[in-house]
Amino acid sequence: MLFQCAFLPVLLFFTSAFGQYREPVSELCLGCICEASSNCDRSLGCEGGLCGLFKITQPYWIDANKPTIPLDNPHAEGAYERCSTDSVCAAETVKNYMARFAQDCNNDGRIDCSDYAAIHRLGGYGCQGQLDLKFGQTFRACQSQVQSLSPSIDVRSGNSAADIFKK
């Protein structure tokens, strides 16, 4: 019984309401989303309602539960901009958004990096639409490059063969 109780949170993390396997958002996946969003340009500020290397909007940040840089207050003026232009906080924002809106956008029976890219670009309620050409091409090229550099990495999930067996 204790084993079943300890295993349940893990099972729930990896299974959506429809029984689909859900990959965690890996660092490699975040890297390809970042590359497609802005070429991972850390010098980007805020312009036209988009901030930082992931080009995060304020509603996206709010939907991600308003993460902040250390010692900041999510209700303080400028908290969104400070987080979105900080690479660590921005990545946390994307992970939180994916946790909230995770779904199988391409109907392949799994929730993986391709779905996360669509959710990031098209939003949590529109991810079954078409990615714009530039974002889609850059994202796919990044995934292909990662795969060619290390064939033991599953580019869909960002896990290497060794990671699959780690606790």
d(CA 17, CA 15): 7
Residues 6+ apart with CB under 8 A from 121: 36, 37, 131, 132, 135
Fold adopted by 21-156: Lysozyme (1.10.530)
pLDDT of residue 149: 83
pLDDT of residue 147: 84
Phi, psi for 86 (deg, rounded to 5): -100, 125
Residues of the chain with pLDDT under 70: 1-21, 151-167
Indicate if the alpha-carbon torsion angle 131, 137, 143, 147 is positive or negative: positive
String of DSSP letters for 90-112: HHHHHHHHHHHH---TT-SSEE-
